[in-house]
């Protein structure tokens, strides 16, 4: 299939590991992102995630067949966690539950970035086969970039992303706008723009943060897998 993202990825240097790392981190990060929403919702008094069977590690439950199909087709995926805000104890709980997902992605970054730096330092002290060194570097690098991108993307104030739910709690005018007919049309337009144009900038920001971190910790080190 000409232009298929899988083919393009495999044609890159170390393409097999790059593809495997990308698939692992997309699925793992989305599952943990959605579980974080579920854990937060239950802590806030809503048992819907457990009652609907969504407190599971099964990616099909969180992503669904359409999301997995789109991921295989064009590399774009999403997840969902059913919650019932009417069961939350406080008005602000909706924002807390929404924020839990991006915070999980940030937590994963706080694990993968130091692990990446530690791996680079280790390979300077210990002789490691070149392919092992490159493979683990790629795995941790992709994990860092993807989770930064997912956190940034989900914090954008565009429905139905988490950022819009957070902002809606504290800005009634924003909530009312996207509840209107004009707001719903604007939401569709914004989502189309984000999915077609925003990925380059969001993933670019992820690469920039990871490279800046590595450069700060280990100056003058090549950072692109």
User: Nearest-CA neighbor of 209 among 77, 76, 112?
Assistant: 112
pLDDT tens by residue, the chain, 225 residues:
468 999 999 999 889 999 999 999 999 999 999 999 999 999 999 999 999 999 999 999 999 999 999 999 988 899 999 999 999 999 999 999 999 999 999 999 999 999 999 999 899 888 989 999 999 999 999 999 999 999 999 999 888 899 999 999 998 887 777 777 776 777 777 777 776 677 788 999 999 999 999 888 876 555 445
Q: Could you tell me the residue ranges of all domains in the chain?
A: 5-217
In sign, the C-alpha dihedral spanning 104, 110, 116, 122 is negative
Q: What is the pTM of this model?
A: 0.90
């Amino acid at each position: 299939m000409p232009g298929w993202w899988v083919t393009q990825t495999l044609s890159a240097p170390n393409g097999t590991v790059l593809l495997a790392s990308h698939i692992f981190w997309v699925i793992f990060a989305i599952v943990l992102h959605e579980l974080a929403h579920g854990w937060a919702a239950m802590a806030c008094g809503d048992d819907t995630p457990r009652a609907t069977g969504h407190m599971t590690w099964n990616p099909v439950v969180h992503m669904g067949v359409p999301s997995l199909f789109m991921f295989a087709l064009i590399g774009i995926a999403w997840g969902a966690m059913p919650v019932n805000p009417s069961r939350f104890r406080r008005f602000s709980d909706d924002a807390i539950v929404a924020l839990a997902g991006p915070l999980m992605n940030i937590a994963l970054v706080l694990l993968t970035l130091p692990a990446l730096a530690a791996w680079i330092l280790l390979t300077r002290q210990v002789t490691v086969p070149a392919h092992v060194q490159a493979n683990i570097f790629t795995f941790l690098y992709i994990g860092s970039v993807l989770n930064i991108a997912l956190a940034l993307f989900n914090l954008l104030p565009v429905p139905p992303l988490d950022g819009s739910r957070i902002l809606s709690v504290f800005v009634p005018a924003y909530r009312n706008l996207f509840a209107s007919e004009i707001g719903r049309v604007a939401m569709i337009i914004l989502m189309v723009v984000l999915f077609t144009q925003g990925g380059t900038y969001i993933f670019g920001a992820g690469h920039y943060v990871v490279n800046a971190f590595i450069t700060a910790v280990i100056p003058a080190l090549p950072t692109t897998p």
